[in-house]
Amino acid sequence: MKQLAVPAGFSEKVELGERYEIAPAARLPEFDSGLAEAYAATDRNEPARKLFALMAPGHLACRGLTLATQRQPIGTQMLWPQASGIVDWPVGSDGSDILWGRRPAFVYQQPGGERLVKPGPGKAPVFGREEGSLPQFSEANLVKQVLQPAVMMLREMVLMSAPHRAINPANMFYLSGKSGEVMFGDCLASPPGYLQPAAFETIENATALPIGRGLGTIADDMYALGATVLMLYLGRNPAGHLNDEQLVHAKINGGSFSALAGGDKLPPGIAELLRGLLCDKVSDRWTIKHLEGWLQGQHYNPVLPGVPRRASRPIKFKGTDYLSQPALAQAIARDWAGGIEIITGPDFDNWFKRSFGDDKAGEKMNRIAGLAAHHGPSAAIRDRMLSRYIVMMGVSLPLAYKDVVSNLTGLGTLLAHHFERSDQLQQVGELLQARLPQVWLEEQFNLTPEQMQFRRALDQVEKVISRPGPGYGMERVLYELAKGTPCRSALVADYYVTDLKDLLPAIDAAIGGAGPGTLPMDRHIAAFVAANMKRAIDNELAPLAHRTDDVAYRVSILRLVAILQRTHPTQDLPRLAAALVEMLQPAVAAFHNAEIRQHAADELARHAADCRFDEMLLLLDPEGPLRKGDSNAFANAMQEYADLERERTWLRNGGLTEVSRVRASAQRAAAVTATLIASAGVTGYGIYTVMF
- Claim to verify: residue 134 and residue 282 sit in the same structural domain: yes
User: Cα–Cα distance between 256 and 508 in angstroms, integer?
Assistant: 54
260/351 same-domain check: no
Question: pLDDT at residue 223 above 80?
Answer: yes
d(CA 52, CA 76): 17
226 and 159 within one domain: yes
pLDDT at 14: 95
Q: Which has the closest alpha carbon to 439: 419, 415, 463, 458?
A: 458
pTM above 0.85, yes or no: yes
Tell me, what's the pLDDT at 629? 81
Pair (138, 284) in one structural domain: yes
Q: Is residue 479 part of a domain?
A: no
Render pLDDT for 55-99 as a digit per residue (tens, 0 to 9).
Answer: 999 999 999 999 999 888 777 899 999 999 999 998 754 444 566
398 domain residue, yes or no: no
pLDDT, averaged across the chain: 91
219 and 291 inside one domain: yes
Q: Does the residue 427 lie in any domain? A: no
Contact 475, 523 (CB under 8 A): yes
Residues 499 and 610 occupy one common structural domain: yes
Q: What CATH number corresponds to the domain at position 225? A: 1.10.510.10
Per-residue model confidence (pLDDT) at position 248: 96
Pairing of strands 172-174, 399-401: unpaired
- H helical segments located in 395-421: 411-417
Asked if pLDDT for residue 247 goes beyond 60, the answer is yes
- Do 105 and 126 have their domain in common? no
Same domain, 79 and 196: no
Tell me the pLDDT band of 484, cut-offs 50, 70 and 90.
very high
Q: What is the mean pLDDT of residues 510-514?
A: 90
Number of domains composing the chain? 5
pLDDT per residue as tens digits for the range 262-285 = 989 999 999 999 999 999 999 999
* pLDDT above 60 for 689: yes
Supply the pLDDT for residue 679.
72
Whether 343 shows a pLDDT value over 80: the answer reads yes
Q: Is residue 207 part of a domain?
A: yes
The pLDDT of residue 690 is: 58
Task: Give the pLDDT of residue 691.
Answer: 61
Give the lowest-confidence range in 81-95, 234-248, 302-316, 521-535: 81-95
**Residue range(s) defining the domain that contains residue 518:** 493-630
Is residue 626 domain-shared with residue 509, that is, in the same domain? yes
> Of the candidates 49, 84, 109, which is a domain's last residue?
109
Mean per-residue pLDDT, 541-554: 92
Residue 416 has pLDDT above 90, yes or no: yes
Is the domain of 132 the same as that of 264? yes
- Tens of pLDDT, residue by residue over 610-642, are 999 999 999 998 888 888 787 777 777 788 778
Give the β-pairing of 98-109 and 51-55.
antiparallel
Classify strands 320-322 and 315-317 as parallel, antiparallel or unpaired.
antiparallel
pLDDT band at 657 (very low <50, low <70, confident <90, very high): low
How many percent of the chain have pLDDT more than 90? 76
Note whether 685 and 614 are same-domain residues: no
Determine the average pLDDT of the residues in 675-689. 66
Of residues 508 and 627, more confidently modeled: 508
pLDDT at 330: 96
The mean pLDDT value for 490-505 works out to: 96
Residues 263-301: b if buried by 16+ CB within 10 A, e if exposed: eeebeeebbbbbbbbbbbebeebbebebbbebeeeeeee
Asked whether 250 and 259 are in contact (CB, 8 A), the reply is yes
| Local confidence band at 18 (pLDDT 50, 70, 90 cut-offs) | very high
Determine, yes or no, domain membership for 424: no
Q: Is the pLDDT of residue 7 over 70?
A: no
Q: Are residues 268 and 317 in the same domain?
A: no
pLDDT tier for residue 2 given thresholds of 50, 70 and 90 = very low
